[in-house]
Every structure is written in C-alpha cells, then in structure tokens.
Structure 1
Amino acid sequence: MRSTRHLTGLLLAGLLLAAHPANAKSPAPSAGVPRQPEAASGQRAQAGWASKKFSVAAAHPLAVDAGYQILQAGGSAVDAAVAVQMVLTLVEPQSSGLGGGAFLLHHDGQLTEAYDGRETAPSEADEDLFLDDQGKPLSFQAAAIGGRAVGTPGVLHMLALAHRQHGRLPWQQLFEPAITLAEEGFPVGPRLHALLSGATALRQDPVAAAHFFDDSGRPWPVGHRLRNPELAAVLRRIAIEGARSFYEGELAEAMVRKVREHPANPGRLTLADLAGYEALVRAPLCFVHSARPVHPKGARQRDVRICGMPPPSSGTLAMGQILGLLAHTPAARLPPQRSPQGLRPGSDWLHLYTEASRLAFADRAVYVADPDYVPSPGASWMSLLDEDYLAQRARLIGSGPRARRMPDAPAGIPAGVQQSLGPMPEQAEYGTSHISIVDGQGRALAMTSSIEAAWGAHLMVNRGQGLRGGFLLNNQLTDFSFTPRSESGAPIANRVEPRKRPRSSMTPVLVFERPRGDFLLSGGSPGGAYIIHYTSKLLYGTLHWGLDVQQAINLPNFAAFGGPVLLEPERFPATTLRALRQRGHDVKEQPLTSGLQAIQVRGKGLYGGADPRREGTVKGD
C-alpha cells in the first residue's frame, strides 16, 4: 500500500486550494422545519469519476483512499467499508465513528442482505427519559449534550459480522490506514475547521477540548496536522483482538464511565448493555418501481427493484411512498427545467413532490419504529407501499395546473389496520455519513453511519493512559420520540423502551434491473430527516430524468415535511417560488447540506458521483 504520509501531504495541498467555508453556524429553523445536521461549508464543482473494475465513494478523500488501497489489494466491498469507516472516525469525527451506529446493504451477486448496526437504548431506559420533572419534553440541547442520549454503539459489531460473512482480507489489515493516519496525523480541512468554530459545547468536554482546540480555545487552523494517538491505540487493539475488545474490558469501562459520570446530564449505559449488543441481519425492504424517463427523448420505460433498509429505518418506506405516490400524478410527464445554471425541477413538479412527501411523512409519524417492539401495519411493512393504498392516498393530491396545497395531510389507514397509535410530534433529527462501494468481483454495498447530531453527545472517550484524543459518543437516543404518548393518551410507536432501536431516516439504497436482477446503482446521503429527500432526488434524477449520478447529485436540493417547502438558496428562480406560493405553499430558502455519494453501472464500467456540498470524492480502477 502507498505511504499514507504522502497522501496526507497531497490532501493538504488540495484543501488549502479549496474555497474556505463561509458560515459554520446553522440557521435557526422555522416552525415545522427540522434543523440541519451539519452547517454548510461551501460548494465545489464535481465532474464525476469513471472506472472499469471497482469504485469507492465516501465523505472524505483520505477515507476514500483507504478503501481504494483495500480494493487494490484484492479486498471485498465489506473489507473496504471497514477501512473507510475507521478513517472517517478520525477525519470526519462530527458525523460518524466507533461511538455510533450504521445500516449496511450488501449484494454479493445473488443475495441482498440488510445489516442493522443501529444503537440500542440502555436496559435502564424508560419512556420518560426525555421528560423533565413537570413531564414536559426537554429541549434538544438539554437532551443531547451529555450522557443521557447515548445509545449502545453498533457500527463496529455490524462491520465485524459483515466481515465474517463477506470479508476476504484479514481483519487486522483493514485497520492499517486509519492507524497510520491517527499516529502521523492528517491536515485539518476547511469543513472540519468551520464546524469546530461553531462547536461551543464541545469545548465543555476536557478530552475533546484538548484534542480539537489549541491552548487558547481556538479550533486548529486549516492545514494543522491533527494526531490522535489514543484512537490509534484503540484501533490497534480492535485490529488484534477483534470487535469484542470494544464491547468488553477497559474500552467498555471507559465508555460507561464517560456516560454515567457526566456532571450535568448523566446517562444510563451499562457494561451489560455493551457486552450484550448484537448487530442483526434483516431481510431488505425491496419494491418494484416503474421508471418512465422523460429525458432524454426516446428512453424506454423500465422496471427496477429498489432495495433499502427495513424498520427501524423509515427511509426506504418514506422514499418508496413518495416515488409511488408521484407515479399516480402527472409528475412522470414533467421534465426538469433547463437554465444557464443547469437543470432544476419546475414548480408543478415541486408541488406534486411536496404533497406526496407530506403524506409519506404523516404515515411515518404514526407507524414506523423498531419492528421488535411495534408490529408492522397490516402484518407487513409492504402495506404502506401497496399499489391500491398509494393510489387511494394520491387522490388527496391536487394535480391540476392551479391545484392548491392540501389543507391537511393526515396519516392513512392501510388495509387490515386498526389504528391505535398516536402520531409522533416533529422534533430535531440529525446525522451522518455515507459510503458506496463496488468491488472487483461485482459485490456492491451502500452503508450509512452516524453519531446523530454534529459531534454526537459532545463526549470524547479516552482510557486515561496519557494519550491525547479518542472517539466521540453518539446522542442517538434523541431519535426516539421525547413524548411517549399523544394528547389523547395513545402510545407513540417510536417512544423510548429498554434495548429498543430508535427510528432512523438513514436510507442506503441499492437498485437492480428487472427482471434479470443486474445491479444498477448504490447510493445514499447524510442529512437526518432530509436524507429521505436527498436520496429520492438521486433516484428520480437517474431513473426518470435520464441523468447520471453526478448530474442527479448536482441538482438543487428541495425538501418538505409537514410545513413549508424548503429550497436551496439561489438555485431556483423567483418565478418558481411565486408559482408555489400561488398554490398555497409556504416557501423558504435555506442551505440544504446533503452529502450524496453514489456509484452506478454505466456501459461496461462504473461511474461515481460525490456531492459538491461536502468534501466527498470517488476513486477506482
């Protein structure tokens, strides 16, 4: 493998040439608008990457190169994912890492599997975890910062499980790039520096403060070589002794100490929670989608099979509902509009998308939670994607040229459901990092991992052996409903319960041709609840508008939940905003900081795309 020292030098030169991010602080959200998981940090043009044998796409160039080294050495897609995630723990600590969880979809050429490495609530947790002494929900900041919201980390256990089944290289070899980078250091980039500039609460943790900031409390400048010897030692132990060394012994004791001894907001994680954690292999949630391309001209209709994570992820269901609802509207006849700035959706299409999204998120709020605790509606999650059910729901959408916004977007009642659950109130949801990989043997994966909010619980674990640094813990339990019951007293599906997995929006996706089943595309994004919209944009752009993955990623971002239509600033003309408002929509412009990564089959090779809104890249042979 090539020298990591040489690679960090090349990266430093590139980062110093990049545009410096403007404002690291996320704007305050409007009512009914989820907060952005991470602040915007500028954009840079991406052209896409072609390769013939294999490809890896991830959120940081050093992580991508680690995966590339593993694939070059004959490793599998899972091998490369392990190497990529270990480097992301070091270089993108605000988003994902050892202290968090993940979902992974894997296809080996025949079988598609869904690996669930989602965090679990401690065994001592109960549904009142996020209520104050008066029974009122805590603020997000009060809940998230400290030990209260820390769930049992699952990403490492999940990767170890996947490696046992699909790995080709020795486990220990996969940690070499991250260990070398942690020991030798890597250059702080513009995005990391910008996010640290706004990370006030992170300074309250002495371990994190000593690692990320200088003696005056200023974040390390762009180009500073940041070393993490504590993380190097932790990774070396895991590499030699296996994932169990993370869940038992001194590492487990250090995590529990950090959580339970927090001076202001202690949590309930125990050694038994860590020792008892198990990642799961679930059947993927797959559905057929008929793509009716409107661009380029003459493109034929084709059916594809879209596979994603089942609950506790809500992403595949919500995305599948949005695509299915749009199929029952005139959306399929509406091409993107062209402008000097590039392609963008028009106002008529955005109206239909917004209404479909509102209906999908209404169902999500009622039905979706950990399937080991909450039964699927109508005895199958596919009831929410049933063609007749979606056709019935789509009739609520006004599709004429002057049709107005629905006054209300209620949850539906699929066949066989006797609804007894209350809707979950809207609340903050954050996260994440995405990895897409296709290896030299045609195995493909899509993996989304997270510590939830930027910097997670703002707690850095260190064993106390005199080494600086460590790894951050998640605040993933804030993905549960803070309110356990509705105003009528009905239980909320996604309430806190012991050892339960919180609902997620992470939406890693694999797409296959029908009827042959040939692999077509791997993709996903960070972004909390916005992930669903970003991934829907990727699929609609590629399947319906005939775009390659980079062109689809470059499209302006848009989103809608239960409130306003959210549009990426300066990407839509005033006529679009005016037309949406005439239909009764509240329209707001705000940064929508996606981090889409995707790889598609193109001709006899592969083509990768990375989001210009973050630092991601693609590399392959």
Structure 2
Amino acid sequence: MKKLLLTLALLLFSPAAASAQGIVSSADPRASAAGQEILRKGGSAADAAMAMMLALTVVEPQSSGIGGGGFFVYNDGKTGMVSTIDGREAAPMAATPQRFVGPDGKALPFIQAFPGGKSVGVPGNVRLMAMVHARWGRLAWKELFQPAIRLAEDGYQVTRPLNSGVAMVSPLWKDFPAVRAQYLIDGKPPQVGETIKNPALAKILRKIADDGPDAFYTGKNAQAIVDAATGSTVAPSDMTLADLAAYRAKERPPVCGYYRSYKICGMGPPSSGATTVLGILGMLERFDLKKLGKDSPVAWHLIGEAMELAYADREKYLGDRDFVDVPVAGLIDPAYLKARSKLISPTTTLARYEAGTPPGAPQRTAAVQNEVPGTTHFVAIDGDGNIVSMTSTVEGPFGSQLLANGFVLNNELTDFTLAPEKDGKPVANRVEPGKRPLSSMSPTIVYDTRTGKPVFVVGAAGGKTIIMQVAKAIIARLDWGMEPRDALGLGLIYFNQDGVILEQGTSLEALKPAMEKLGNKVTIAKLGLKANAAAWENGKWVGAADPRSVGVALEQ
C-alpha cells in the first residue's frame, strides 16, 4: 500500500512530461502509467492507447470503458498518413425513431431518457481495439490487458473525479443494484483514497485477453450485456445477441482543413468534431487573434460569434453519414466559411445565429441535440512518430447506470435527438435501427504545412463543450503561443440559450463587462472540462493534462 501511495503521489505531481521518444497523456495517472508501461515494453502508440482505454475502464468508470465507444485518430510516423476509426455505439435493430417519445407524443425529458436499458447502444470500443491492434499493434493482444487486469484485481484508489461522479448520480441507484453494489461503500460514495476492487471486470478482461474480441460480442458476455439491458427494471431495452454479434468498427475518411499555416485533421460523421472545429477556425482566420491576444475581450467576442454560427450548422446538418446526407466538404469549404465570417463584427453581436447553406447542403430542419459532460481523452506517441489521439466515452456519468460483468454500459442513444421530427420533418440525428448517434468527440492532430510534420495533438471531454475546448486549445497554442498545459487550462467560452458563458474561476471572468458592451449577454458559470494534449516543441514532444483534472503526461 505504501508503494502504491508513493507511486500515485509521484504521478500526481508530474502533470507534464517532455520526451524526444514516446509520451502518453490521459485523465488518470494509473491509465497514463499503463500506457507508459506498454511503450517501455516496446509497444507502439496504438498499443499504449489501447492499454490506456482498458485501464480507464477500471479507474474512470464514470467516464468511459469497454461498455462504451470511441473515435480513434492515427498518424503514421513513416508516411504521415492520417487514419480514423469509428467505434461509436449503435442503436439496436429493433430501435425506432419513437424510442424516446412519451405517451403524450413529446420527447421525454433527458432525466427520464438516460437511465436504464433503452439508452444503451451496442458498445464499440473492443471492436475498435481489435481493428487498431491488427493494423498498428506490436505487442501481443494479451499484453495490452495486463495493467487493467492488475488494477481491477488488486484494487485502485478512488480519485476526486470518481468520488464526485458517484455522489452526483448515486441518488438514482435504488433501481440499479449492480452499480450500487460495486461503487458504494456502506451505502455511501467512496471517499478519495479508499480502495475499490472489481473482480468481475478483471475476469472478463482476462477472458477477452485470452480469447479475443469475440469473447466480448458473443457467448456469455454478450448474454450478460443483453440481460442487463433488457432486464432493467427501468426502461428495458430491445437489444439482442444478434445486435452485438453484428457490430463492426469502421474506418472513416479523416476530415482535414486548414487554419493559417496549419492543417488540422480529425474525425468525420458521426462525429461533429472536425467539421465544427474547422468551421470555428475558418471563420476566425481573417482576424488577427495573435495581435489581439488572449486577454482581449474583442478576441473572445469574435471566438464566441464564430462558435455560435458553427454550432448552428452542426445542429442542422450533422448525423451518421451512413443514414443521412452530411455536406462535410461544404461545411469546411473556405469560400463558405469566408462568407459566414462576414457575418461577424468585432464591434457588435449578431441578433440571431442561424445555420447557413453550405455547398451541397440538403433540405434539413435544425434540431438541438443533448450531450452531457462526461467522456475521456488520451494521447499516445511512440519513438517512431506514430501518434494516437483518441476520445472514449460511456456518455454521462456512469452511462445508463447499468453494469454487465463489472463494466458500465453506456447511455449513448440519448445522444440522438430525442424528438425525431421538427416542424413535421425528420431530423438528421433521429434514432434509426443500426444508426450511430451524433457526437461532439473531437480527437485532433495538427500539422505544420511548412514541414508537413505533426505539431499538436489534442482532444477533450465534456459533452458539447468538447468542440470548443479543442478549438480554444488550438487557438491558444497556434495564435497565442501558449505552452500545452496552459493552453488546456485557459478558460473557456461556451453558450446557452441566453448568450455566452465565460468559465467561472478563470481569467475570462474579468472580460464580462467589456464583452457586454459589445452586445453579448454574458453568464459566468462552472463548466465540466478536461482535456489532454501533446505539442512538438524544441525538437521533442511535450505532453500535458488539463490542470482541472487529476490527469498526467508521462514520458517513455
């Protein structure tokens, strides 16, 4: 125990790391240590990232895990080619657009929609892992599971985020005995520093390690998932064994665009990350943000205006590209973004933020989609220049509140727009059989076009704020030259139905009066944020974790 405490203390006081060789960054020190261990054993960046995904299943169950899904962005160190893998959860084949519509014909309130079986999508992370390992892995499949298995068997200490996550949702757990038994101690949320073991999770991790990904999607584990989802006393699901057996991760074309002298690559639909980040940046390109500086209310006013316009496009056009026509090229078209940018003034605020009409746009009805703060991000880079930026999630804290074999089952289906129609027309992100819900997850890699080399790797957690966290970090790094940890820790601007939100407890609070003079309606509020990054600086990679989190970056 003393050794464990010492190791944890050393990690917690090492928030950033620099290395010309491998580096990892995640939102939990035990997960970062798992990635570091794999790199030191000769594993690739892909191996290290998958080990972190598994370790986070154990130590950060409120945020992500094998019961959820993720998006994976990869840079090949030899070729510089970018690949992206979609491991997003899918709706069961029995799902209909009316899934979250109540007896009154109206969409259920989110608080009623997310707990229980109906919100559970078919998990994607294990199939994603299998695809990633087959293409870019170096170590044996089984080796990647060992750090997570040790954590589940030997136990791990509760962190502040885990404690607060349990405290937030445990009032719902009277109807969820499995999660209550696993994460409450004497009927109360576990205190920071208390030890939790998860033998059921260790057992299934060993099974998958020994027998491969089919051990997750077929057989006894698949039955356990179906039983948990369909047997829930709250909103029982219609998921079947066939839904699990049929699930496949998918390689998607990366979405890349340009900002100043940089190329920025990320994930395409069903992620809205890359298109919206590039939309924000494209509208800001004509403004000299570097000259304005990070403390300028005008700079943040401009960022806020671009944000609102880009999110308006997001709400109208984005969805699963396998089911709906998404004008990806049009949304990031430089001419379109220049035209949108002309709507923005440095001295006044727009009265309304409406979606534009990008080239190739279909007739579409805009509809607001819910996402709640949750999720996790991690970065891995190996000595050969292979880079992973991956965001993984079970959606909200503890997902659906259901467990199967010790792992949390997601509530990703509430990332669909709950009302399937608006103004009598179907919305792009409505529930459909086999469809994957829209996501804000934004794993990103930035390249310097002058050298063709990657220079910044970033991603975040926090629901729909993810897009803004990534855009803000890119601006802070590229325009304002901030160190990666400072870029992540810089305050965030976001929005609600009343206007813009400036993050409480940050330097942005002081900008409220000046931004109000520009016509903004400003609220000061806390935002549930965390991000991870790495930056190429002076011939080496510098990793960073968000100072709001307990995460760390570690070098090989």
Decide: shared fold, TM above 0.5: yes
Q: CA RMSD in A?
A: 1.7
Question: Which secondary structure does the structure 2 equivalent of 1:460 belong to?
Answer: strand
Secondary structure of residue in 2 paired with 1:525: strand
Alignment partners' CA distance in 2, 1:420 and 1:48: 47
| Equivalent position SS for 2:244 | helix
Return the match for 1:210 from 154, 176, 181.
Answer: 181
Q: CA deviation at 1:266?
A: 0.7
TM-score by length of 1: 0.86
Matched, 1:438 2:381: yes
Shift, 1:256, TM fit: 0.4
How far, CA to CA, are the matches of 2:197 and 2:434 in structure 1?
Answer: 35
Q: Which residue identity lines up with residue 298 of structure 2 in the other structure?
A: D
**Aligned-residue offset at 1:514:** 1.1
Give how far 1:328 is off: 2.8
TM-score normalised by L of structure 2: 0.96
> Which amino acid is the alignment partner of residue 398 of structure 1?
S
Please state if 1:79 is matched with 2:47.
yes
Work out whether residues 14 and 553 of structure 2, in 8 Å CA contact, stay in contact via their aligned partners in 1. no
Pick aligned residue for 1:8 from 4, 7, 28: 4
Deviation track 1:548-578 (CA, whole Å, cap 9, x = no partner) reads 2112112112213654211111323765211
**CA displacement 1:197-222 (0-9 Å, x = unmatched):** 2222135311111111123x112222
Between the aligned partners of 1:596 and 1:232, the Cα distance in structure 2 is 28
Which residue number corresponds to residue 391 of structure 1?
A: 338
| Rounded Cα–Cα distance in structure 2 between residues aligned with 1:590 and 1:150 | 30
Q: Is the contact between residue 357 and residue 561 of structure 1 (CA under 8 Å) also seen in structure 2? A: no
Residues 160, 563 of structure 1: CA spacing in aligned structure 2 closer, same or farther, 3 A cutoff?
farther
CA distance in 2, matches of 1:46, 1:64: 11
**Displacement, 1:453?**
0.5
What is the distance in 2 between the residues matched to 1:562 and 1:382? 28
CA distance in 1, matches of 2:375, 2:388: 17
Measured against aligned partners, the alpha-carbon deviations of 1:228-282 in whole angstroms (never above 9, x if no partner) come to 0000000000000001100000000011011111113111211111000000011
* Shift, 1:12, TM fit: 5.3
The answer to whether residue 152 in structure 2 is matched with residue 182 in structure 1 is yes
Q: How far did 1:11 drift?
A: 4.7
Q: Deviations over 1:149-193 (max 9, x none)?
A: 100000110011110010000000111111111111011122212
The 5-angstrom pairing of residues 83-98 of structure 1 reads: 83-98=51-66
Aligned to 2:409: 473
Aligned to 2:526: 591
- Cα distance change of structure 1 residues 328 and 545 upon mapping to structure 2, 3 Å threshold: same
- Structure 1 residue aligned with 2:541: 606
Gap change, CA 1:136 and 1:413, over 3 Å in 2: same
- Distance in 2 between the 1:144 and 1:336 partners? 38
Residue ranges of structure 1 left out of the alignment (5+ in a row): 19-44, 291-302, 338-345, 463-469
**What are the residue-to-residue correspondences of 1:353-368 with 2, within 5 Å?**
353-368=303-318
**CA offset at residue 433 of structure 1?**
0.4
* Partner residue, 1:268: 238
Counterpart among 324, 339, 347 of residue 282 in structure 2: 324
Structure 2 match to 1:288: 258
Aligned partner of 1:349 in structure 2 is 299
Structure-to-structure mapping, 1:126-145, within 5 angstroms: 126-145=96-115
Structure 1 residues 474-502: Cα deviation after superposition (integer angstroms, max 9, x where no partner)? 00001101111112x12211111100010
Matched, 1:458 2:401: yes
Alignment partners' CA distance in 1, 2:448 and 2:284: 20
Contact 2:99 2:431 in 1 (8 A): yes
Contact between 2:290 and 2:480, CA under 8 Å: does it hold in 1? no
Is the CA contact (8 Å cut-off) linking 2:8 and 2:29 kept in structure 1?
no
Distance in 1, matches of 2:413 and 2:369, equals: 15
The residue that corresponds to 2:425 in the other structure is: 490
Distance 1:230 1:576 in 2: 50
Does the 8 A contact of 1:312 with 1:504 survive in 2?
A: yes
SS in 2 for 1:596: strand
Partner of 1:340: none
- Measured after TM superposition, the shift of residue 46 of structure 1 is 7.3
Cα displacement (A) at 1:614: 1.0
Question: Which structure shows the bigger proportion of residues in helix conformation?
Answer: 2
For 1:137 and 1:146, the matched residues in 2 are separated by: 16
Q: Distance in 2 between matches of 1:235 and 1:574?
A: 45
Which amino acid letter does the alignment assign opposite residue 380 of structure 2?
Answer: I
Q: Please list, as runs of the form range in 1=range in 2, the aligned pairs for 1:8-27 lying within 5 A after superposition.
A: 8-11=4-7, 13=9
The correspondence for 1:256, drawn from 210, 215, 226, is: 226
Q: How far did 1:515 drift? A: 4.4
Report SS of the residue matched to 1:57: strand
1:428–1:115: structure 2 CA closer, same or farther, 3 Å change rule? closer
What does residue range 230-249 of structure 1 map to in structure 2 within 5 Å? 230-249=200-219
Q: Deviations over 1:422-481 (max 9, x none)?
A: 10125343431001110121100100000000110001113xxxxxxx010000001101
Partner residue of 1:404 out of 348, 354, 362: 348
